[in-house]
Amino acid sequence: MTAYVDVSLFPRAAKPLTSYRPFWAKRFGTAPFLPMSRAEMEQLGWDSCDIVLVTGDAYVDHPSFGMAVIGRLLEAQGFRVGIIAQPDWQSAEPFKVLGKPNLFWAVTAGNMDSMINRYTADRKIRSDDAYTPGAEGNRRPDRAAVVYSQRCREAYKDVPIVLGGIEGSLRRIAHYDYWSDKVRRSIVVDAKCDLLLYGNADRAIVEIAHRLAAREPVLDITDVRGTAFVRRTTPEGWFEIDSSSVDQPGRVEDHINPYQTTSEQAAAQGASCNAPNTTVSIADGAQPAGVGGQNGAKKEDGNTHKLNFVPNPALAGKRKLPPQDCTVIRLPSYEQVRSDAVLYAHANRVMHLETNPGNARAMVQAHGEGTTARDVWLNPPPIPLTTAEMDYIFDLPYARSPHPRYADERGRHDGATKIPAWEMIRFSINIMRGCFGGCTFCSITEHEGRIIQSRSEESIIREIEDVRDKVQGFTGTISDLGGPTANMYRLGCRTPEIEAACRKPSCVYPGICQNLTTNHDPLIKIYRRGREIKGVKKILIGSGLRYDLAIQSPEYVKELVQHHVGGYLKIAPEHTEAGPLTKMMKPGIGNYDKFKVMFEKYTQEAGKKQFLIPYFIAAHPGTSDEDMMNLAIWLKKNGFRADQVQTFYPSTMATATAMYHTGINTLKGVHRDERGEKVDVVRGEKRRRLHKAFLRYHDPNNWPLLRDALKAMGRADLIGNGKHHLIPTYQPMAGQCASKADKGKYLVIPTMVLDKARADTAKSQAGAQAAGRGAGQPAAKMAPKAPRPGQILSQHTGLPPRVTGNARPGPKKKPR
């Protein structure tokens, strides 16, 4: 077996992106920006576009924007690519602005799901859009991917439509729609597209473009991985398996021989296990089996013998499975999952079991009955990109700025026409794709997969230098060096064989898999090399950190804390209680405590004042009112006051969304009887508001609701005016701030500072101004000893009295 340094070097059984013969139009060269008008096309010498991209986002030519990546990739393959960004969807005319595409439409709703982009977790419409110049709202329709596809069909009905992006990817089968509170059909049926590309579409879009350019009918392109389409019948030569035989109750994996060690179990699966054996074979001392004794085993000392496990010949033929590459799993139909919550949970569970490109099989789901019946066919997921292919994509000639159309009167993009999403990633570097965390509330794994695809060190350094030299307004700080997760760079399975055989939804839950590499040395090297580049003053880490992985490498935590934290660091424990954590597939709060100790140790060694910002989720499936109460107690005990609260958002196709819709724990076997585990689902505005209120226990506006809830829960002991109480008995008058409501008794200097303003203030003034000095009091008297993180300051421990004008007069001194 070949030994590989890390997952980045695994061979991939796919045609390399760089091996295609360029299309003839490559002679036109590279465009400074993909054209958005006929005038720009004429300047490039084009009479038509081969491919027209349609997106719900403003066009930013940057590798963090999906359509820019697809457009530049297709351009590098020799195609003439135009782009229509945020078109008026009221008619088909705006979709004709670039003329008829020679090959196909490429449609996406944008970097974000259009429904999440437009609505809050409480289904209230947002007033702004981060992907629009000036953050202007209402520049895209609901379910934009469907609407854009319909308008493209109206504009030129004979041009194939290829739909992609995260909105289409997460709707590839029948799915629960939170905004309409019902199960909707696959987007392939609603959008009437010819092909849906799900997941990272780089491989698929290049192959499809070249095959369509070779005049192959789009209806014949049914063998590309990562695609979905409609067909009437299953072709000959395919073996169809009913999904109920795939997800048998209690049998997801083969039964384990109890007399085998871990190494022997791995060897039986054609793999190896380098970790120390955790199972001791009780038959190690037994003699080889002989001809005597039970089942041919030779007895030793008259009371011990070794058992030999052999397959039952009578069952050998029944257990033989058809070849994986010509097997399709039939999921329950749309009509079935729409009317039966158990079948919906079952279909969602099976789909998640078939997401590993190494062992996934095709799936099919019927839509309609009788003569209108159609099958939505899903090919297996795309093969991950190699490091060389990742470098090829990220080294394409991006302008790294918005299209000139969005410039203001000064020709700049940082004024009234600023695009907030671009501003956020303007000085950031994406170093990898994918996430093997498997958090049930997140859709990254369903979209990008759990196999990490990493760039090379040289490619990352080149991009840092490009940002330094080419991006207007660069002041020396790289805002992020990460991806979906900050510290999964070049991590993955130890061998390709183990990777291809695994069906686990997460590599780090319930604990870190023994076959997962956790070596952070390549990432440490990039951090150190990046901060040594001339002109780069600081490299910050803005992506979410997987702290249970980070604590495996103290050297990484030290490098991160001492050189790459800008005052505060975001991490996401999400909760403190086992109930919701097991439904989230998140580690226990003990891992957070370990990381916190390391964070504070290295912060102190560096002589800095830095804060951890833990994020928590309210109203997640599996969360009881008592769980939220315990979380609130933990927050107060640790001196945390959350200024931003995240409520569970049932995003399409996520495992937690299936729990929300069905009330069934799909992480375990799905059953109709008592074997199936039920999940406490937080529904209704009142209960969701209560769970949010627990996270903001310090907000006086939430106190009436919390008092009622605590009394109903039999925890009135948490209501009182002492420091050990959660909320006070009194209610401040309208207009009073929280600090006045605290009656000036104490103020918390939190380890967590969720808004940047408070973090910067606490960092620069050592907590004095954050605590709020009295009116007119000189600053010199407001310089007490710097508080410890999480310390409660009072007048007895260095906090001066407030001068508010509302204080009660103190007791008069008795005359002597």
What's the pLDDT band for 618 if we cut at 50, 70, 90? very high
Q: Are 192 and 137 in contact (CB under 8 A)?
A: no
Which two three-digit tokens encode residue 414?
């940082």
Q: Does the pLDDT of residue 757 top 50, yes or no? A: no
**Count of Cβ atoms closer than 10 Å to residue 458 Cβ:** 11
Residue 736 has phi, psi (to 5 degrees) of -75, 145
Across 526-544, average pLDDT? 95
End-to-end Cα distance, the chain = 94
What's the pLDDT band for 759 if we cut at 50, 70, 90? very low
Rounded to whole angstroms, the Cα distance separating 59 from 645 reads 31
pLDDT digits (tens, 9 = 90+) for 562-583: 999 988 998 999 999 999 999 9
pLDDT digits (tens, 9 = 90+) for 662-718: 999 999 889 888 888 999 999 999 999 999 999 999 999 999 999 999 999 999 999
Poorest-pLDDT segment among 401-405, 684-688, 795-799: 795-799
Question: For residue 769, what pLDDT is reported?
Answer: 33
Number of residues in the chain? 816
Between helices 554-563 and 521-531, what is the axis angle to 10°? 20
Question: For residue 514, what pLDDT is reported?
Answer: 94
Question: For residue 735, what pLDDT is reported?
Answer: 55
Question: For residue 324, what pLDDT is reported?
Answer: 85
544 versus 207: the higher-pLDDT residue is: 207
Across 252-278, average pLDDT? 50
Q: Does the pLDDT of residue 780 top 50, yes or no? A: no
Question: For residue 280, what pLDDT is reported?
Answer: 36
Q: Does the pLDDT of residue 194 top 60, yes or no? A: yes
Does the global pTM surpass 0.85?
no
pLDDT digits (tens, 9 = 90+) for 337-370: 999 999 999 999 999 999 999 999 999 999 998 8
Across 168-175, average pLDDT? 97
Question: For residue 8, what pLDDT is reported?
Answer: 85
Half-sphere exposure of 589 (CA within 13 A, CB side): 15
Closest to 100 in 3D by CA, of 51, 45, 27: 51
Q: Does the pLDDT of residue 381 top 80, yes or no? A: yes
Q: Mean pLDDT for the chain?
A: 85
Rounded to whole angstroms, the Cα distance separating 428 from 49 reads 31
Contacts 24+ apart (CB under 8 A), 691-694: 691/618, 691/619, 691/623, 691/625, 691/628, 691/647, 692/618, 692/619, 692/645, 692/647, 694/618, 694/628, 694/629, 694/631, 694/632
Percentage, residues of the chain above pLDDT 90: 72
Question: For residue 741, what pLDDT is reported?
Answer: 38
pLDDT digits (tens, 9 = 90+) for 432-461: 999 999 999 998 888 999 999 999 999 999
Strand positions, DSSP E, 619-676: 646-647
